[in-house]
């Protein structure tokens, strides 16, 4: 999905599909490799937390993969993403170095702090829209900035919900001080719902209201994704493990559908 976000930002900046080249290929591989590295490291450091939270099917918890394999995979992917970013240009290289370092710090410490880890996840979802733009130019388009703000809001809200879902395991295994642990589960989830209603939905409509994109089939898809989001938020008013699971799955559908709608709009459909 992050690679898809990079691709969309390139289409937004160019106004058309980018010509397939090594530059474009590298730019799509970088976020995939960085996220592979970050997730492998997360699983490596969170084996006990995942076990306590009941994630028994995860590969390290179940024993399907070894701890050493996860660590080696993380290191290799971090190195490859950095090298490919260097081959694109210096600005992309700086972004990848910064976020690879932040992902290591996040997995080690930031995720246990109130809001700090959630904000990092928001930035990690937002940065692809800047990264893809910077592949071609240092001038950032207004539409990419709006998409960046949307992704940050969505990532922050989703991660707060995830923190609420995992609060018991986080408290017991890592002695975390996440937002739900400090202010309570319901209050944290309500903050996420506010972020979706007050920021994300208005931002998703802004490109059309500002006449940056045409009202078309793409707008209809964005509208459908917003309606699904409203339904998801309604279910979250009564937090439970089932509503959290629904939210985690639906949020990915919402993001993918929304990005597809924006892409279609940029292409003029």
Q: Which two tokens stand for residue 64?
A: 């399907």
CA–CA separation, 147 and 205 (whole Å): 11
pLDDT of residue 173: 66
Given a cut of 90, whether residue 147 has pLDDT beyond it is: yes
CA-closest candidate to residue 220, choices 257, 266, 251, 267: 257
Locate tokens 């190195």: which residue? 79
Q: Which CATH superfamily is domain 2-266 in?
A: UbiA prenyltransferase (1.10.357.140)
Residues with Cβ within 8 Å of residue 183, at least 6 apart in sequence: none
What is the tens place of the pLDDT at every residue in 184-240?
A: 999 999 999 999 999 999 999 999 999 999 998 999 999 999 999 999 999 998 888
pLDDT of residue 100: 95
Q: Note the pTM of the prediction, 2 decimals.
A: 0.86
Q: Which two tokens stand for residue 103?
A: 């992902």
For 24-28, 61-65, 175-179, 198-202, which range has the lowest pLDDT when averaged over its residues? 175-179
CA–CA separation, 225 and 210 (whole Å): 19
DSSP annotation of 112: G
The C-alpha angle with vertex 236 and arms to 122 and 58, in degrees rounded to 5, equals 65
Q: Is 250 exposed, middle or buried (0-12, 13-18, 19+ CB in 10 A)?
A: middle
Q: DSSP string of 193-253?
A: HHIIIIIIHHHHHHHHHTTSS-SSHHHHHHHHHHHHHHHHHHHHTS--HHHHHHHHHHHHH
Q: Which H or E run contains 71?
A: helix 67-88
- Do 116 and 177 form a contact (C-beta atoms < 8 A)? no
Higher pLDDT: 114 or 197? It is 197
């Amino acid at each position: 999905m992050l690679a898809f976000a990079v691709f969309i930002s390139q289409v937004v900046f160019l106004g058309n599909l980018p010509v397939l080249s090594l530059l474009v290929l590298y730019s799509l591989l970088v976020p995939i490799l960085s996220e592979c590295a970050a997730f492998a490291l997360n699983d490596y450091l969170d084996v006990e937390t995942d076990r306590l939270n009941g994630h028994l099917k995860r590969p390290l918890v179940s024993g399907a993969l070894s701890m050493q394999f996860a660590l080696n995979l993380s290191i290799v992917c971090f190195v490859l993403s950095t090298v490919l970013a260097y081959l694109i240009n210096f600005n992309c290289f700086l972004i990848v170095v910064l976020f690879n370092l932040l992902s290591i710090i996040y997995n080690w410490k930031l995720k246990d702090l109130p809001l700090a880890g959630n904000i990092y996840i928001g930035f990690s979802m937002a940065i692809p829209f800047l990264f893809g733009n910077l592949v071609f130019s240092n001038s950032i388009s207004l539409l990419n900035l709006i998409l960046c703000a949307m992704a940050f809001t969505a990532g922050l809200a989703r991660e707060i919900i995830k923190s609420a879902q995992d609060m018991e395991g986080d408290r017991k295994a890592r002695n975390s001080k996440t937002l739900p642990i400090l202010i309570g589960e319901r209050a944290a989830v309500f903050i996420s719902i506010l972020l979706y209603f007050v920021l994300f939905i208005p931002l998703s409509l802004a490109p059309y209201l500002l006449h940056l994109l045409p009202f078309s089939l793409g707008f209809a898809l964005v509208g459908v994704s917003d309606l699904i989001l409203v339904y998801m938020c309604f279910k979250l008013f009564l937090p439970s493990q089932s509503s959290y699971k629904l939210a985690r799955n639906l949020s990915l559908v919402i993001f993918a559908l929304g990005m597809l709608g924006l892409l279609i709009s940029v292409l003029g459909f």
